[in-house]
Amino acid sequence: MTMSRAPVPRAVLVTGASRGIGRAVAHAFAQQGDRVAVHVRSAVDEGRETLASLPGTGHVLVVADLGEAEQAAGLPAAAEEALGEPVRVLVNNAGIATGADLAHPPATTDTLTWQRHWETYLRVNTLGTALVTHAMTRRLVELGLPGRVISIGTRGVHKGEPEFPAYAASKAALHAMDASLAVALAPHDIAVATVAPGFIETERVADRLNSPAGDEIRAGSPFGRVGRPEEVASAVLWLASPEAVWASGATLDLNGASHLRP
Ligand SMILES: NC(=O)c1ccc[n+]([C@@H]2O[C@H](COP(=O)([O-])OP(=O)(O)OC[C@H]3O[C@@H](n4cnc5c(N)ncnc54)[C@H](OP(=O)(O)O)[C@@H]3O)[C@@H](O)[C@H]2O)c1
């Protein structure tokens, strides 16, 4: 007879968990009994709110600017120190998303602005995330421990982001990095996957959803609405589960059928 055993709690690092998708992901892991390192860049008060809202015990707050290489590379060690054990699951959620002040449509953007936005997006979203991921996975390889990495990419990689080409490219690099790491790290029992959300209702985009543009955004999906942070969180939770190891290397579209690809 097989006895069902309660899952062993894991140490999970969720980057960018001050609000939005990151906060929902932190909540989902804590809800199933894992211990979460809640990461923020500067929104320490909001990070503390996330921390206080998590069910269970043993969660911690860690602060790092992923635009600073040393801080990004040092984040998994800081989380390990605070949690008292190595990070076994990394959720790469932190990033600079789209926002009016960062728009850079190619036809009307001057060279310097174009360069500045490319540097910003690539430095934080791509290089910062790559440094965190490298440090976390190297540590697991060194210790001979299995692990999971799940990155939050975007539908924009496949659909295009005409106002934010550098944002889409910075996330496309993550999709590609995850595919390569899935192959490279499978022999070490580390599975790597990506989710590609469409429009998700977070604090950051509340004003746009409440503006006249909101109806058009909702109409992008045949469900007539945008996604919810909890819907991204449940997919991430599944990708981090023992049942999902065979999804390593996959990119999971989470866009309410708003953009289908073969
Ligand atoms: N919402 C959507 O529609 C949507 C769709 C597709 C993909 N995504 C992706 O999903 C992720 C979360 O989206 P969201 O809407 O929840 O974003 P959000 O509300 O803007 O939250 C972004 C998080 O990233 C952190 N962050 C930003 N810059 C950072 C830096 N330089 N170093 C470290 N942390 C940094 C922020 O920390 P602080 O608060 O401390 O600054 C915050 O916790 C992003 O990667 C985004 O690109 C979102």
Model pLDDT for residues 216-260, shown as the tens digit of each residue: 999 999 999 999 999 999 999 999 999 999 999 999 999 999 999
Check pocket membership of 96 for ligand 1, CB cut-off 6 A: yes
Ligand 1 center to residue 2 CA distance, Å? 43
Looking at the predicted structure, is the pLDDT value of residue 159 above 80? yes
**Strand order through the sheet with 147-152:** 60-63, 35-40, 11-14, 89-92, 147-152, 190-197, 251-254
Give the pair of three-digit tokens for residue 251: 């990119």
Ligand 1 center to residue 94 CA distance, Å? 5
Looking at the predicted structure, is the pLDDT value of residue 4 above 60? no
**What average pLDDT does the segment 21-44 reach?**
98
User: Could you tell me where the beta strands, DSSP code E, fall in 42-160?
Assistant: 60-63, 89-92, 147-152
**What average pLDDT does the segment 76-102 reach?**
97
Which residue lies with its CA nearest to atom 13 of ligand 1? 21
Q: Quickly state the pLDDT bin for 209 (edges 50, 70, 90).
A: very high
**What average pLDDT does the segment 5-17 reach?**
88
Ligand 1 center to residue 80 CA distance, Å? 22
Q: Quickly state the pLDDT bin for 1 (edges 50, 70, 90).
A: very low
Check pocket membership of 152 for ligand 1, CB cut-off 6 A: yes
Ligand 1 center to residue 128 CA distance, Å? 13
Candidates 13, 15, 21, 50: which one to mutate for ligand 1, based on the most atoms within 8 Å of Cβ? 21
Check pocket membership of 36 for ligand 1, CB cut-off 6 A: no
**What average pLDDT does the segment 81-106 reach?**
97
Mean per-residue pLDDT of the chain: 97
pTM value? Answer: 0.97
Phi and psi based region of residue 147 (left: phi greater than 0; alpha: psi -120 to 50; beta: remaining): beta
pLDDT of residue 3: 53
Which residue lies with its CA nearest to atom 39 of ligand 1? 43
Check pocket membership of 19 for ligand 1, CB cut-off 6 A: yes
Q: Which of 152, 185, 169 is CA-nearest to residue 255?
A: 152
Q: For residue 241, with 0-12 CB atoms within 10 Å meaning exposed, 13-18 middle and 19 or more buried, which class applies?
A: middle
Q: Report the distance separating Cα 61 and Cα 78, nearest Å.
A: 10
**Domains of the chain as residue ranges with CATH:** 11-253 (3.40.50.720)
Candidates 200, 254, 255: which one to mutate for ligand 1, based on the most atoms within 8 Å of Cβ? 200
Check pocket membership of 164 for ligand 1, CB cut-off 6 A: no
Query: Which residues lie below 8 Å from residue 57, measured CB to CB, with a gap of 6+?
Result: 35
Asked if residues 93 and 152 have their Cβ atoms less than 8 Å apart, the reply is: yes
Q: What is the share, in percent, of the chain residues with pLDDT greater than 90?
A: 97
Check pocket membership of 18 for ligand 1, CB cut-off 6 A: yes
Check pocket membership of 254 for ligand 1, CB cut-off 6 A: no
Write out the catalytic residue numbers: 167
